[in-house]
Amino acid sequence: MLLLVVGPSGAGKDTLLDAARAALADDARFRFVRRVITRPADAGGEAHEAVSDAEFAARDFALQWQAHGLRYGIPADVAEDIARGRVVVANVSRGVIAEAASRFPVRVVEITAPPELLATRLLARGRESAEDIAARLARAVPLPPGVIVEAVQNDATPEIGAARLLAVLNRAAADVARR
């Protein structure tokens, strides 16, 4: 199963994914995907495989998309793990969910938080103006119909948010094992 993690900026996706990755490091049922991105490795944010545009164009990907002037990719070898019954966890753009669902068994985890908490977190980053943050929070991207979606509220401590995400991941692994 391909478990697609989505959510608005400031929801804490990277924090919760890092905690889940650490908690499940020795659990062979899961693979946490390291994205390939056309941004420098030292640009901050998640640990990713940094590549040039030319290197990106020469690679094969299970999924790829563009956002914020960058190209993102999920390595093609995830298909092998999915076929073997592993839960492959990937942080993606909502825009690739429909394509992913047409090619793989998919479940979506939407990590979110109340708008006022998202705004506070984004302001604390100091990367955007209040106007930019308001515009970002006003943007709504619907999820495609027919896809299983589980919401994870990240409105408490990181430990509570991580426990909520781990519960979803373990349910997904149990569902795969039943098939």
Question: What does the block give as tokens for 137?
Answer: 């929070």
| Residue 122 located in a structural domain | yes
| Residue 26 located in a structural domain | yes
| Residue 141 located in a structural domain | yes
pLDDT at 176 over 70: yes
Cα distance between residue 109 and residue 126, in whole Å: 27
User: In Å, how far from its chain's centre is CA 165?
Assistant: 12
| Residue 111 located in a structural domain | yes
Q: How confident is the model at residue 45 (pLDDT cuts 50, 70, 90)?
A: low
Three-class SS state of 47: coil
Structural domain that includes position 166: 2-33+80-178
| Residue 108 located in a structural domain | yes
| Residue 101 located in a structural domain | yes
pLDDT in tens, 84-141: 999 999 999 999 999 999 999 999 999 999 988 988 888 887 777 888 888 777 777 7
Predicted TM-score (pTM) of this structure: 0.89
Specify whether the backbone of 47 is left (phi greater than 0), alpha (psi in -120 to 50) or beta.
beta
Q: What is the CATH number of the domain that holds 16?
A: 3.40.50.300
pLDDT at 159 over 90: yes
Q: How many domains does the chain have?
A: 1
Burial 153-175 (b: 16+ CB within 10 A, else e): ebeeeeeebbbbbbebbbebbee
- Residue range 1-10: mean pLDDT, rounded: 92
Q: How confident is the model at residue 43 (pLDDT cuts 50, 70, 90)?
A: low
| Residue 173 located in a structural domain | yes
Question: What does the block give as tokens for 136?
Answer: 């970002």
Looking at mean pLDDT, say which of 8-22, 46-60, 151-165 comes out highest: 151-165
